[in-house]
Structure 1
Amino acid sequence: MQQSSSAWTRWAPPVTRNLIVINLLIYITSVLLLRRGIDLNELGGLHYFGASNFHFWQLITYQFLHSTASIDHVLSNMFALFMFGSSIEYFWGSKRYLIYYLLCGVSAGLVQELSWYYELQEVMRYDFVQLPSGLIARDAFLGLLNTVGASGAVFGILLASGVLFPNSYVLIGFALPLKMKYFVFLYGVIELYAGIHNTWGQVAHFAHLGGMIGGAILIYLWRKKGVIR
């Protein structure tokens, strides 16, 4: 029994391990409850701040929810968290690592709100919005906007990996080696381009960038205070 417990704790440090388990359990719960007509993504997902269904606590809860349309969303985020988060947790310690993770997620959510605010300037002039399905009241349309996922926090982790371990290598497509500093820079440029040109549909590209921005600010402040190297 002791060997089994030890094997369980070895695959990842505690915060990374618990974050992965919590996200997967919440995903499974979301899928099961949706079959009973209860939509956790609607309740805990991040809504536009001008909508009636927005609540401040959604800046935290949205980070632990993922699209129920496919398991790919949660698995890709958790794989990236495992790959890049473990080494950062060992380097910084669990407490600072968890603070960093959550604040990067909050930063991502705030940037997503700013992105929505900018995009909705034209919409706010009218009482109704034309959708493919027909006219819908503006307030009802605003309530449809919703973002879920740990991607913003994970992008903050990715940024930290590029800062702390710039010359370590990551395999692109499990074949092409690339230094972390170049990988992070390239990924950031791709997300910026995709956000500006609205590429890849419903992906919240500016939220991803928001996680990286929040991470960069935190690292700068902590380094300035001397609390991290």
Structure 2
Amino acid sequence: MMTFILIFITAVVSVSCLKNRTWFERLALVPYRTVHRREWYRAVTYGFVHGDNVHLIVNMFVLLSFGQHIERMFTAYQHAGTIMSSYLTYGLLYFGGLVAAAAPDIVRKRNDPHYASIGASGAVAAVVFTSIFFNPWSKIYFFGIVPIPGIVFGILYIGYEQYLNRRQTRDGINHNAHLWGALFGFVFPILVDPSLWNVFVQNLLHRS
């Protein structure tokens, strides 16, 4: 349910911002304004703004693919008594992913009035990597074609994003946000309940 709600709200806000530049600029992550004007809400609202329809569709498709699975898993853990609320946990994962992805740029770019970042990629990466945490051997389709184990995909993804981030490529993609969102998603289950680390280790060692 929450996945569909997030997709609906993100789609409505993104399309509206594409038509209204004022709203676009008001919601985007601009670290300079975030810090110097105390517009801290931008650390979350930027995730509901996208540069174009392709950017929006790709992020929402990935969120749809992995979000429903995570919702079902959190519901199962709620019934088992591991977590108090599946809705709250999912919300903390998604919005925590947004903040975690934004935080490094807020620090690094706080004195650059021209820097801006948008998109839900950091939060979506967090959802994907939480899925990898619980199902390290489940198949993820690399480039949508080649099926590889989630844990292998995760290692390749982190390495790739770190490489591009260090090169500071000018492709218009915030690789730093992808990297930190993914790392947050992987450690999130441990933050919820440290004993879940044992679940990851067991699933990693006992490939089904």
Both proteins in one fold, TM over 0.5: yes
Q: Is the 8 A contact 1:45 1:58 kept in 2?
A: yes
Work out the CA distance in 2 between the residues paired with 1:178 and 1:104. 24
Classify the secondary structure of the residue corresponding to 1:41.
Answer: helix
Residue 167 (1) aligns with residue 137 (2) = yes
Structure whose alpha-carbon radius of gyration is higher: 1
Q: Is the 8 A contact 1:112 1:210 kept in 2?
A: no
Classify the secondary structure of the residue corresponding to 1:144.
Answer: coil
Counterpart of 1:103 (choices 85, 93, 96) is 96
Cα distance, 1:186–1:103 mapped onto 2, change above 3 Å:
same
- The residue identity in structure 2 corresponding to 1:107 is A
- The residue identity in structure 2 corresponding to 1:28 is V
Work out the CA distance in 1 between the residues paired with 2:143 and 2:194. 36
Cα distance, 1:61–1:172 mapped onto 2, change above 3 Å:
same
Classify the secondary structure of the residue corresponding to 1:178.
Answer: strand
Residue 206 (1) aligns with residue 189 (2) = no
Counterpart of 1:219 (choices 182, 186, 189) is 189
Q: CA deviation at 1:180?
A: 0.8
Work out the CA distance in 2 between the residues paired with 1:53 and 1:103. 22
Work out the CA distance in 2 between the residues paired with 1:200 and 1:91. 38
Q: Which runs of 5+ in 1 are unaligned?
A: 1-13, 121-141
TM-score with structure 1 setting the length: 0.74
Q: Is the 8 A contact 1:65 1:148 kept in 2?
A: yes
Residue 48 (1) aligns with residue 31 (2) = yes
Q: CA deviation at 1:214?
A: 2.2
Q: CA deviation at 1:45?
A: 1.0
Classify the secondary structure of the residue corresponding to 2:119.
Answer: coil
Name the % identity: 25
Aligned equivalent of 2:147:
177
Q: What do residues 142-182 of structure 1 show as CA deviations (whole Å, max 9, x unaligned)?
A: 22211111011011111111111111112223431101111
Counterpart of 2:49 (choices 59, 65, 70) is 65
Q: Is the 8 A contact 1:46 1:54 kept in 2?
A: no
Classify the secondary structure of the residue corresponding to 2:169.
Answer: coil
Q: Which runs of 5+ in 2 are unaligned?
A: 75-85, 200-208
More strand by share: 1
Q: How does 1:7-46 map to 2 (within 5 A)?
A: 14-34=1-21, 39-46=22-29
Counterpart of 1:154 (choices 124, 130, 137) is 124
More helix by share: 2
- The residue identity in structure 2 corresponding to 1:116 is K
Q: Is the 8 A contact 1:194 1:200 kept in 2?
A: no
- The residue identity in structure 1 corresponding to 2:40 is F
Q: Segments of 4+ in structure 1 off by > 3 A?
A: 49-54
Work out the CA distance in 2 between the residues paired with 1:166 and 1:94. 23
Q: How does 1:185-196 map to 2 (within 5 A)?
A: 185-196=155-166
Classify the secondary structure of the residue corresponding to 2:137.
Answer: coil
